[in-house]
């Protein structure tokens, strides 16, 4: 009875320890120092840890757009923060998704990856809510209802950018069923021939990396947590094609975002393209992250 209880507790602890969000956080703390430095800067700006003499925190906590500190300014800042979160997820996915090959077995893997990679972005947003609300009410004497409206606008901006990227990847990314059917249509002989031409070292290396980053459970949706599927029964070429195709789509999306941000910067003198100063800083970080992921 005690042995069974011990096994049960070990299983429960494993499901918590090898929960995908925790593994992603551990991975980034171990390997993503460059990306984490951008987050540290954003936290420092919001918490008035850097540039207090120059009023940098004021630009983030009480953004200004065309001379007004209103909901439009907050929504633009939220949209830029949403863009940075998207670039953060894309960078992490491109650089480290091969360490979690079970992702290739999921429908909408990048979406699943993003909602599991929530710890740092959600922490930042919560810190921003608290800091901005306190700053608006205590320093700028903004009424509470107006402060809540501004933060709601900020949130809508974040979700607008996230929704835009979600639609793109839903339309472009294929799931493993599509690739499996394609392999079957090509015929067994052709599949075997193509498999024989591939380098086995790449998949063996992938399996070794996967063992270092075990995942037992992951967030399937905001209401469900599921067990990670085994990948042993899937053909290796199918998993490789799924992840490769997603990487290509992610890179194309990054290229579109970079071009869009550059155009905004080039025409910033026009009123239509004016954005809050804090948004400009966040967009600059976003472009840098996307460029680093492409290198």
Tell me the C-alpha to C-alpha distance, in Å, between residue 277 and each of 56, 84, 224, 271. 9, 15, 39, 14
Structural domain contains residue 15: no
Structural domain contains residue 124: yes
| Dist. CA 174–CA 184, nearest whole Å | 16
28: number of Cβ within 10 Å? 20
Cβ proximity of 254 and 84 under 8 Å: no
Structural domain contains residue 118: yes
**pTM summary value:** 0.80
- Which residues are CB-neighbours of 243 under 8 A, at least 6 positions away? 97, 98, 101, 103, 104
**pLDDT category of residue 8 using cuts at 50, 70 and 90:** confident
Cβ proximity of 272 and 66 under 8 Å: no
| Dist. CA 207–CA 10, nearest whole Å | 24
Structural domain contains residue 111: yes
Higher-confidence residue of 250 and 198: namely 250
Structural domain contains residue 4: no
For residue 191, pLDDT beyond 50: no
Question: Mapping DSSP to helix (H, G, I), strand (E, B) and coil, where does residue 64 land?
Answer: coil
Residue 230: phi and psi, rounded to 5, are: -80, 145
| Dist. CA 183–CA 238, nearest whole Å | 8
| Dist. CA 155–CA 133, nearest whole Å | 13
Which tens digits make up the pLDDT trace of 131-156?
999 999 999 999 999 999 999 999 99
For residue 83, pLDDT beyond 50: yes
Residue-range definition of the domain harbouring residue 190: 20-294
Which of 113-117, 176-180, 204-208, 250-254 is the most confident on average? 113-117
Structural domain contains residue 9: no
Instruction: Give alpha helix (H) positions in the chain.
Output: 2-17, 20-31, 33-46, 56-61, 71-96, 109-116, 119-134, 144-172, 176-186, 188-197, 200-212, 236-266, 277-294
Which tens digits make up the pLDDT trace of 91-102?
898 888 888 888
| Dist. CA 139–CA 154, nearest whole Å | 19
For residue 63, pLDDT beyond 80: yes
Higher-confidence residue of 270 and 156: namely 156
| Dist. CA 123–CA 161, nearest whole Å | 18
Structural domain contains residue 1: no
Give the number of domains in the chain: 1
Supply the angle between the helices 144-172 and 236-266 in degrees, to the nearest 10: 130
Cβ proximity of 212 and 30 under 8 Å: no
């Amino acid at each position: 009875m005690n042995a069974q209880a011990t096994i049960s507790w070990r299983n429960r602890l494993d499901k918590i320890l090898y929960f995908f969000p925790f593994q992603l956080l551990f991975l980034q703390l171990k390997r993503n120092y460059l990306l984490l430095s951008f987050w540290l800067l954003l936290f420092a700006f919001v918490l008035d840890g850097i540039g207090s003499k120059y009023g940098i925190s004021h630009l983030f906590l009480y953004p200004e757009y065309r001379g007004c500190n209103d909901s439009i300014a907050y929504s633009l800042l939220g949209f830029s923060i949403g863009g940075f979160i998207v670039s953060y997820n894309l960078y992490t996915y491109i650089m480290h998704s091969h360490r979690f090959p079970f992702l290739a077995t999921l429908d909408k893997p990048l979406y699943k990856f993003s909602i599991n990679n929530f710890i740092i972005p959600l922490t930042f947003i919560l810190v921003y809510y608290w800091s901005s609300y306190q700053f608006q009410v205590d320093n700028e004497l903004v009424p509470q209802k107006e402060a809540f409206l501004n933060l709601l606008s900020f949130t809508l901006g974040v979700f607008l950018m996230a929704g835009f990227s979600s639609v793109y990847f839903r339309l472009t990314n294929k799931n493993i069923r599509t690739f499996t059917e394609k392999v079957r249509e090509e015929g067994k002989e052709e599949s075997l021939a193509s498999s024989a031409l591939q380098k086995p070292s790449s998949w063996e290396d992938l399996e070794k990396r996967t063992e270092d980053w075990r995942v037992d459970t992951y967030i399937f949706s905001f209401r469900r947590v599921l067990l990670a599927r085994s990948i042993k029964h899937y053909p290796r070429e199918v998993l490789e094609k799924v992840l490769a195709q997603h990487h290509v789509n992610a890179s194309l999306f990054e290229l579109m975002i970079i071009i869009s941000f550059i155009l905004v910067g080039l025409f910033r003198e026009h009123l239509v393209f004016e954005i809050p100063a804090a948004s400009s800083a966040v967009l600059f970080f976003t472009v840098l992250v996307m460029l680093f992921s492409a290198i």
